[in-house]
A = this chain, B = another copy of it.
């Protein structure tokens, strides 16, 4: 029994099953793929593959389907990265048009990725822990209400309306702004909370209370800025791809709404040599994603932000990986400006 052919059989099984969604048998295999041997030989190979836990039979004497382990071996060793079609490249490149506002770009990115892969796409916002303070603004709105704005060097803007105890003059706010800026300009978001708490000591006694409230507001903004966020699109694809199979789409939607789960997962995903991460089925720590796979990669050189798709374990890994990688590359290019 030849080892290379056995792997070839595994590849054929994965490809056929992904394509047909039905267990694939030895006979169909020799017909569709020109392996130079008979179905009996394939059967022997399949028995061996099953022995190794790479494929399994839903019921005695039915075709085989890949196991998580089988998919794993497939993506690790057997999948060749397919180049994208012209149409796909074109679809991605419409991303390049339009404004470069971060929200906007990520929104369009996630939609494109969802459309391209016919799966649920997720894009994590670039992390801002290391971003430095570029600008602070206090704007009085209604009585007692002040809008606190924090602008980072990365271009990210965080804001919040806070209630200061008393009416405050615009000039005083402007003065306080200068004091805050003098202390905080250039600090990272991570450093901000501790630094900001010392500022109120530097202001005149009469403005002390207001300054304390403002400091509190800024600390909150810093906290928000560090919080990771994701955008998502294509949940309808999930329903579509599973409407023939009565697969459990509910749990997956649940997990997707619990963004924390996804964020942790993306965080924990180890990248292979090409920078791609793939988590298959029960490799995933979270039960609700036991029948789902995640394909992700990071998208800004050096920084830790990720993007990817979530789909059924039975997905077209080569194409999906190619799409994810291509979109990540385009996005990196755009954000690099």
Contact = CB atoms under 8 A, between A and B. Distances in A.
Interface of A: 99-102, 134-135, 137, 139, 141-142, 145, 147, 149, 151, 153-155, 157, 159-163, 220, 224, 233-236, 238-240, 243, 246, 249-250, 253-254, 256-257, 337
A141 B156 CA distance: 11
B236 A102 contact: no
Contact of A243 (B161, B240, B250): B250
Contact of A157 (B157, B163, B253): B157
Given A134-B139, A147-B151, A151-B149, A161 B235 contact: no
6 contacts: A101-B160, A101-B161, A134-B139, A137-B151, A149-B149, A239-B253
A330 B236 CA distance: 31
Contact of A159 (B157, B224, B235): B157
A139 B161 contact: no
Contacts of A337: 142, 145, 163
- Chain A interface mostly: mixed
A148 to B, nearest CB: 10
A249 B139 CA distance: 45
Contacts of A220: 99
B250 A240 contact: yes
Contacts of A100: 160-163
A149 B155 CA distance: 10
